[in-house]
C-alpha cells in the first residue's frame, strides 16, 4: 500500500459502504476508507464468503446483519477503519478482516459522544499511552499496513508532538483532519496546522478538510505540503470530485450510486441515508424526490424512483 500522492475517500459513518467506495474509485480515488466500525461489534461477527454476490461479508452472529461488505475488486485499496479503546480487542477484531483489505486504520478523531464516552475516537487524543499500545500491538501482529486518523489538538505544537509519537509506532501513514474536536463542519479547516504536522514527519501525511472540487486538491496540497489528500463531504455530495476532468452532473452520479447499490445489494437504509445526504446538499427533502426516497422501503422502490427497474430486474435475474 503506497500512501504517496494519493486521492483518498474519507471514512464516513453510514455512507462509506461498498457502493460509494467503488463509485469513488471509478472516478479516480486511489484509496477508499470504509465507515468506522466499533471493535465491540466486530468481535461478535463471522466472516462469510457470499458466493451469490461475489463478496466477503462480515455478519453479526445469529443474524443477517451485514456489518462490513467488500469484494476482490477493491481489496488493493480499501481501508478498514475501526473504533477501539483497547489493544487486545482491536487486534482480535482486526484479525477478522485484515486478509480482505489493504490496510487497517484506527479512528482517533471522531468527536461524537458515543465514541468519546467509550474511550474511542477523539478521546484517544489525550491518551498517548493507549494510542501506543493499540498501534504497536497491531503492528506486531498484522502483516496488513496500519494507519490512524486524528484531529488537531488545542495547540499546534501538541498535535505535532502527538504525531511524532504516532510515527514512532511504525504506522504506514497518518491522516489529519484539519479541525479540532469542538469544531463543526461549518468551521474552516486549519490547513496551516496540518502543514506543521507534515513538516515534522517522514511518513506520508493525508490531509483532510474542506475539499469540495478537484481544484481544492491542489490548493490544500500547496498549503499543507501533504503527500495525499482525503475528501469527505465533497465526495459524498458528488463522488466525481476525484476526476481530473471535473465533476460530472450530480444527477448522473446519483443514478450510478443507485445502480451500484442494486448490484451489491446494499442495505436499503444505508442507501436511503446516502441519497438523503446528497439531496439535502443539492435541493430539499421536502421536494417530491426527497419524499419519495423517505417512503421507499426496498431497493426495488429506489430502482423504480430513479428509472432503473430494468437494471434491477437484469441484475437479479443474472446473479
pLDDT, one tens digit per residue, over 27-75 is 999 999 999 999 999 999 999 999 999 999 999 999 999 999 999 999 9
Residue 290: pLDDT band (50, 70, 90) is very high
Residue given cell 469542538 in the structure block: 182
CATH class as words, domain 7-242: alpha beta
pLDDT, one tens digit per residue, over 149-171 is 999 999 999 999 999 999 999 99
- The C-alpha atoms of residue 92 and residue 90 are separated, in whole angstroms, by 6
Torsion angles phi and psi, residue 211, rounded to 5: -115, 110
Give the mean model confidence (pLDDT) for residues 81-105: 97
Q: Is the pLDDT of residue 146 over 90?
A: yes
In the chain, DSSP assigns E strands to 7-9, 31-33, 37-38, 45-50, 55-60, 66-70, 78-83, 103-108, 146-152, 173-180, 205-208, 228-231
- The C-alpha atoms of residue 26 and residue 262 are separated, in whole angstroms, by 16
| Strand order, beta sheet including 45-50 | 45-50, 55-60, 66-70
CA–CA–CA angle 197, 91, 30 (5° rounding): 50
Domain range summary for the chain, segments of one domain joined by +: 7-242, 250-317
Torsion angles phi and psi, residue 2, rounded to 5: -100, 120
Residues whose CB falls within 8 Å of the CB of residue 169, separated by 6 or more in sequence, listed in order:
131, 132, 135, 136, 139
Q: Is the pLDDT of residue 113 over 90?
A: no
Per-residue cell: 271: 442507501
- The C-alpha atoms of residue 196 and residue 104 are separated, in whole angstroms, by 25
Give the mean model confidence (pLDDT) for residues 303-316: 96
pTM over 0.75: yes
What's the pLDDT at 282?
Answer: 85
CA–CA–CA angle 10, 103, 92 (5° rounding): 110
Look up 45 and say whether it is catalytic.
no
From the candidates 45, 71, 98, 110, give the one annotated as an active-site residue.
110
Amino acid at each position: 500500500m503506497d500512501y504517496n500522492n494519493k486521492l483518498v475517500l474519507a471514512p464516513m459513518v453510514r455512507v462509506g459502504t461498498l457502493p460509494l467506495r467503488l463509485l469513488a474509485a471509478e472516478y479516480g480515488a486511489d484509496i477508499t476508507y470504509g465507515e468506522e466500525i466499533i471493535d465491540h461489534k466486530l468481535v461478535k461477527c463471522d466472516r462469510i464468503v457470499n458466493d451469490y454476490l461475489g463478496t466477503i461479508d462480515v455478519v453479526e452472529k445469529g443474524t443477517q446483519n451485514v456489518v462490513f461488505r467488500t469484494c476482490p475488486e477493491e481489496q488493493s485499496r480499501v481501508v478498514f477503519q475501526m473504533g477501539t479503546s483497547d489493544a487486545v480487542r482491536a487486534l482480535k477484531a482486526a484479525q477478522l478482516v485484515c486478509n480482505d483489505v489493504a490496510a487497517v486504520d484506527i479512528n482517533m478523531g471522531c468527536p461524537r459522544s458515543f465514541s468519546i464516552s467509550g474511550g474511542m475516537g477523539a478521546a484517544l487524543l489525550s491518551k498517548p499511552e493507549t494510542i501506543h499500545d493499540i498501534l504497536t500491538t497491531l503492528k506486531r501482529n498484522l502483516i496488513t499496513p496500519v494507519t490512524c486518523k486524528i484531529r488537531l489538538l488545542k495547540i499546534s505544537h501538541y498535535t505535532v508532538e502527538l504525531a511524532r509519537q504516532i510515527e514512532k509506532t511504525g504506522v504506514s501513514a497518518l491522516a489529519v483532519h484539519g479541525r479540532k474536536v469542538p469544531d463543526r463542519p461549518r468551521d474552516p479547516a486549519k490547513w496551516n496546522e496540518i502543514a506543521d504536522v507534515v513538516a515534522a514527519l517522514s511518513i506520508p501525511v493525508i490531509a483532510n478538510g474542506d475539499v469540495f472540487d478537484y481544484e481544492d486538491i491542489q490548493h490544500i496540497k500547496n498549503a499543507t505540503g501533504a503527500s495525499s489528500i482525503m475528501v469527505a463531504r465533497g465526495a459524498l455530495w458528488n463522488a466525481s470530485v476525484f476526476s481530473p476532468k471535473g465533476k460530472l452532473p450530480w444527477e448522473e452520479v446519483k443514478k450510478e450510486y443507485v445502480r451500484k447499490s442494486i448490484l451489491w445489494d446494499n442495505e436499503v437504509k444505508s442507501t436511503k441515508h446516502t441519497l438523503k445526504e446528497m439531496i439535502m446538499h443539492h435541493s430539499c427533502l421536502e421536494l417530491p424526490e426527497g419524499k419519495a426516497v423517505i417512503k421507499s422501503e426496498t431497493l426495488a422502490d429506489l430502482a423504480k424512483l430513479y428509472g432503473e427497474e430494468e437494471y434491477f430486474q437484469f441484475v437479479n435475474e443474472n446473479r
